[in-house]
Structure 1
Amino acid sequence: MSTPAAAASGAAPTTFDFPREYHFPPFFTRQTNVNTHRAQLEKWSSLILAYCAHHKLYKLSLSAAAASSSSNNNNDESPSGGAEDLFHNRKLNRRLSTADAREVLEFMRKEGRAEFVGGGDGSSSGREGGGGDVAWIYWKTPEEWAKEIESWVDETAQKGTVLTLYELTQGEDTRGGSTFYGLDPDLLQKALQVLVKRGKAQIFGQEDSQGVKFF
Structure 2
Amino acid sequence: MSAPPPRSTAEDPNATSSSSSFTFPPEYSFPPFFTRQTNLTTHHAQLTKWASLVLAYCRHHRIFKLSLSGDPTTTTTTSSSSSETTGGDGGEAAGPDTTELFYNRRINRRLSLADIREVIDFLRRDGRAEYVTTAKGGSAEGGGSGGGGDVAWIYWRTPEEWASLVEGWVDATGQRGSVLTVYELVEGEGTRGSEFHGLDQELLLKALNVLVKRGKAQIFGHEDSLGVKFF
Q: Indicate if the aligned counterparts of 2:133 and 2:140 stay in contact, CA closer than 8 A.
A: no
Q: Per-residue CA shift, 1:24-46, capped at 9, x if unaligned?
A: 10110001110000000000000
88, 100, 114: which is aligned to 1:85? 100
* Deviation, structure 1 residue 81: 4.3
41, 49, 55: which is aligned to 1:43? 49
Give aligned pairs, total.
198
Q: Indicate if the aligned counterparts of 1:58 and 1:137 stay in contact, CA closer than 8 A.
A: yes
145, 150, 161: which is aligned to 1:144? 161
CA distance 1:100–1:80, change in 2 (3 Å)? farther
* Deviation, structure 1 residue 5: 3.8
Q: TM-score, normalised by structure 1?
A: 0.85
Q: Secondary structure at the match of 1:18?
A: coil
The corresponding residue for 1:187 is: 203
Q: Which moved more, 1:130-139 or 1:199-208?
A: 130-139
Q: Indicate if the aligned counterparts of 1:61 and 1:134 stay in contact, CA closer than 8 A.
A: yes
The residue type equivalent to 2:167 in the other structure is: E
Report sequence identity in percent: 62
1:30 aligns to 2:56 (yes or no): no
* Deviation, structure 1 residue 61: 1.6
Name the CA distance, whole Å, in 2 between partners of 1:80 and 1:129: 25
Q: TM-score, normalised by structure 2?
A: 0.79
The corresponding residue for 1:68 is: none
In structure 2, runs of 5+ residues without a counterpart are 1-8, 72-84
Name the CA distance, whole Å, in 1 between partners of 2:141 and 2:215: 39
The residue type equivalent to 1:184 in the other structure is: D
Measured on the aligned residues, the alpha-carbon RMSD in Å equals 2.4
Q: Indicate if the aligned counterparts of 1:87 and 1:96 stay in contact, CA closer than 8 A.
A: yes
Q: Indicate if the aligned counterparts of 2:69 and 2:99 stay in contact, CA closer than 8 A.
A: no
Runs of 4+ more than 3 Å apart: 2-7, 75-81, 128-131
172, 179, 198: which is aligned to 1:155? 172
Q: Indicate if the aligned counterparts of 2:217 and 2:228 stay in contact, CA closer than 8 A.
A: yes
CA distance 1:129–1:173, change in 2 (3 Å)? farther
Q: Indicate if the aligned counterparts of 1:64 and 1:80 stay in contact, CA closer than 8 A.
A: no
Q: Secondary structure at the match of 2:180?
A: strand
